[in-house]
């Protein structure tokens, strides 16, 4: 797997978890916890990874109005990982 960590997730609820040392990422759907742990260590070398919780987010219905009528569809299934950091800190806002 080339890209395990797709992007960090920054919401109000997940920002509150960062005070506890927990960070959330959108990850590849087929990534294992060991793959995620290795990717976090490679991307952020100054942190020590504790535990990892993964959640597969279900598909949701989605639609929009167009000039030719209503178009229905679904969002894709994706995977979220919540990583607990033992030591160190990740700053998402200083990255480019």
Residue 83 belongs to a domain with what CATH number? Answer: 3.30.70.330
pLDDT, tens digit (0-9, with 9 covering 90-100), for 64-87: 999 999 999 999 999 999 999 997
Long-range contacts of 12-21 (CB under 8 A, 24+ apart): 17/82, 18/90, 20/84, 21/50, 21/84, 21/85, 21/86, 21/89
Tell whether 96 is covered by a domain: no
Domain boundaries, position 42: 5-88
Q: The pTM is what?
A: 0.84
Q: Is the residue at 51 inside a domain?
A: yes
How many domains does the chain contain in total? 1
Q: Is residue 55 part of a domain?
A: yes
Domain assignment of residue 94, yes or no: no
Domain presence at residue 77:
yes
User: What percentage of residues in the chain have a pLDDT greater than 90?
Assistant: 79
pLDDT band at 95 (very low <50, low <70, confident <90, very high): low
């Amino acid at each position: 797997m080339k890209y395990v960590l797709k992007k960090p997730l920054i919401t109000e609820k997940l920002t509150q978890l960062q005070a506890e040392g927990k960070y959330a990422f959108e990850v590849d759907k087929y990534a294992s916890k060991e793959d995620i742990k290795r990717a976090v260590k490679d991307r952020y070398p100054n942190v020590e990874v504790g535990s990892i919780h993964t959640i597969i987010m279900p598909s949701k219905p989605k639609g929009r109005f167009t000039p030719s009528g209503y178009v229905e569809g679904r969002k894709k299934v994706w995977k979220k990982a919540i990583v607990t950091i033992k030591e160190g800190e990740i700053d998402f806002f200083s990255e480019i």
